[in-house]
Amino acid sequence: MTWLAAFVLGVVQGLTEFLPISSTAHLRVVAALAGWPDPGAAFTAVTQLGTESAVLLYFRRDIAGVLRAWTRSLRTPQLRADPQARLGWYVIVGTVPIAVLGFVFQDQIETALRDLRLVAATLIVFGVVLGVADRMAANRRPLEALTAGHAVAFGFAQAMALVPGVSRSGGTISVGLMLGYTRQAAARYAFLLAIPAVLASGGLELTKIGQGPTPQWGPTLLATLVAFGVGYAVIAWFLRYIATHRFTPFVAYRIVAGVGLFALIGAGVLTPTS
């Protein structure tokens, strides 16, 4: 991977990780359009450490409060009713589905699921899902109303993002809207829920960087740092945006992008597999 490709893909990762349009799909498609090799699942997972570091910084007070309350609840059972302590437990519960499914389908995630035809289909289908969820949203429940059952539902939605094109934030936000949560609450929980999964996945994939077809350490580190800076700015903008706007532009973008990707594949401009 060249330094230019690393910089561009870092920008793409930072721009798309928190928007409901799938960063994994965009890394795959942008690389293909530029004529670069598929950056691969390992590169994607490691650059996500950059955007996840932006989450840790942006939500540092929220995270510190949850960790304090959760730790105290381990020693004092009466404190487990505290909303912050419960949120800590629900993040753990919600992480189980992606941990199990990611382990079981690891080979498919790194190979067959990166087919551009599948990426195009998931962009369209889950764009429609997001649009329907946004239209039917009651937009009433705060994050403090989260239950164990809803945490599991969020968790399975996050696990679906193992398929490029689904979008981690898009899937979890869609489920949150269907369950009646506000857009801000669904987005905040989506960001917090991603922390254990992304850190674990990125940590495991670190060992593969520089081996075989994966990019070398230098370009990967550059992409990760760029993703951190861009991602931090996107979080702040996105949370302000959804406070007063629907997800309609993202729905339209996903559908147009998916249709356009199918057209490029059909015209022979792109080959569906790397």
Counted residue by residue, the chain has a size of 274
Side chain identity at 232, as an amino acid letter?
Y
How confident is the model at residue 57, as a pLDDT?
A: 96
Tens digits of residue pLDDT in 151-171: 999 999 999 989 999 999 999
Side chain identity at 28, as an amino acid letter?
R
Share of the chain above pLDDT 70, in %: 100
DSSP-assigned letter for residue 137:
-
268: left (phi over 0), alpha (psi -120 to 50) or beta: left
CB atoms within 10 A of CB 206: 15
- Using CA atoms, how far apart are residues 120 and 166, in angstroms rounded to an integer? 10
How confident is the model at residue 114, as a pLDDT?
A: 86
Tens digits of residue pLDDT in 135-153: 999 889 999 999 999 999 9
How confident is the model at residue 87, as a pLDDT?
A: 93
Side chain identity at 119, as an amino acid letter?
V
Tens digits of residue pLDDT in 22-66: 999 999 999 999 999 989 888 999 999 999 999 999 999 999 999
Closest CA to 42 of 218, 206, 274, 223: 206
**Cα 2 → chain centroid:** 25
Dihedral of CA 221/59/102/134: which sign?
negative
Q: What is the reported pTM?
A: 0.90
